[in-house]
Amino acid sequence: MSKKQKILIVEDEKILLDAIAKKLQKEDYEIVTALDGEEGLEKIEKERPDLILLDILMPKVNGIEVLEKMHNDEELSKIPVIIISNSGQPVEIEKALSLGVRDYLVKAEFDPDEVLKKVNNVLLGEDSGSGESEKGSNASKKVLIIEDDQLLRDLCSRKIISEGFNVETAIDPKVGLDKVIKFKPDIILLDLVLPGMSGFDVLKEIKSNSDKEIAKIPVIILSNLGQESDIKKGEELGAEDYLIKATTTTDEIVKKVKKVLGA
C-alpha cells in the first residue's frame, strides 16, 4: 500500500480549518493541523508535509513570516504552499508570490471542491483547467476586468484564461475606459469602488458612448456594495448583472460570463 500524502493546514479559524481537514481526509490525505504560525513552523520541521495550506493573517507568527523562514531553508523551500487569504491584502499577496507560493484559496469564497481541486493539481498534477476544444471555442471571446483588488483581479483573470478566453485587466478606471475602446471586449467585469472614479460613472460612460457597439457591451458588476439601492442603480444604468463579491465564487463568475456570451 502506498503511503498517504501528508498535508499541513495552518489556519487560526478553527471552523474553516476543520472544514478543509474533513474534505481532504475523505480523499485519503493524511492531515496535520496548526492554529498559528509558530505551531505551524514547529510542525513543518517535525512532519515534513508534502503540501502546506497556509493562512496569511495569524497570531504569533504570520503566514508571510512562515514563508520567509521556509524560503531561507533549502529543504523546506521545496515544500509546495497554497496560501489562504482574505481578498483585499495586495501587499501580502505580492510578497507571498515572490516567496514561491503555488496557488491561492480565498476565505470569502471558500468552496471545499475548489480546495480539493487545487490540492490535487499541486500534488497529483491534475489539470484543473478546461479541455483544449473548449479553450479553442472561447479563444475569440474577449473579457475586460476593471478591478483594483489585486488578488481578486488575478484570481478572476487566471480562472477565465483557463477557460480559454482572451483577458485584459485594468486597475485604474480611466485606463479601463481606454481599454474598452482599444480592446473592444465582448464583456466587462466592473468593480464599483475604484480609485478616482466610481464604477457607476464608468458604467455611465460605457453605456453613453457614441459608438453603439461599445454601448452594447454587456457589463457585469462585481462589488461588495450589496444594498438594494446599489443593485437597482446598476440595473438602471444598464448593467447586465450584479454579483456580490462576498457571496460569489470565481467559478460562478465564469459561469455567468459564459452564459452572457453564449460560450
Q: Where are the domains of the chain?
A: 6-123, 132-261
Residue 155's CB is within 10 A of a number of other CB atoms, namely: 22
Cell numbers representing residue 42 in the block: 514547529
Residue 98: what pLDDT? Answer: 76
Would the CATH topology of 6-123 be identical to that of 132-261?
Answer: yes
**pLDDT grade for 111, boundaries at 50, 70 and 90:** confident
Helices (H) and strands (E) in the chain, counts: 12, 10
Residue 233 has pLDDT above 70, yes or no: yes
Q: What is the pLDDT of residues 212-222, one digit of tens each?
A: 999 999 999 99
Q: What fold is seen in the domain 132-261?
A: Rossmann fold (3.40.50)
Looking at 13-22, 58-67, 245-254, which range is the least confident one? 245-254
Cα torsion through 127, 129, 131, 136, rounded to 10: -140
Cell numbers representing residue 254 in the block: 465564469
Burial class for 116, CB neighbours closer than 10 Å (0-12, 13-18, 19+): middle
b/e burial code for range 37-52 (CB count within 10 A of at least 16 → b): bbbbbebbeeeebbbb
Q: HEC states along 159-203?
A: HHHHCCCEEEEECCHHHHHHHHHHHCCCEEEEECCCCCCCHHHHH
Residue 193's CB is within 10 A of a number of other CB atoms, namely: 12
Query: For residues 153 and 171, what is the distance between their CA atoms, to the nearest angstrom?
Result: 9
Residue 32 has pLDDT above 70, yes or no: yes
Query: Count of alpha carbons within 13 Å of 11, Cβ hemisphere only?
Result: 26
Residue 164 has pLDDT above 80, yes or no: yes
User: Which three-class secondary structure state does DSSP give residue 222?
Assistant: strand
Q: What is the mean pLDDT of residues 108-123?
A: 86
Provide CB contacts within 8 A for 200, sequence distance 6+. Answer: 192, 233, 234, 237
Cell numbers representing residue 78 in the block: 521545496
For the chain, the distance separating the N- and C-terminal CA atoms, rounded to the nearest angstrom, is 44
Supply φ then ψ for residue 221, to 5 degrees.
Answer: -80, 135
Q: What is the mean pLDDT of residues 196-203?
A: 95
Provide CB contacts within 8 A for 87, sequence distance 6+. Answer: 106, 108, 149, 151, 152, 155, 245
- What architecture (CATH level 2) is domain 6-123? 3-Layer(aba) Sandwich (3.40)
- CA 145 to each of CA 44, 142, 149, 235: distance values in angstroms, whole numbers, following the listed order: 38, 10, 11, 19
Provide CB contacts within 8 A for 41, sequence distance 6+. Answer: 61, 66, 69
Residue 155 has pLDDT above 90, yes or no: no
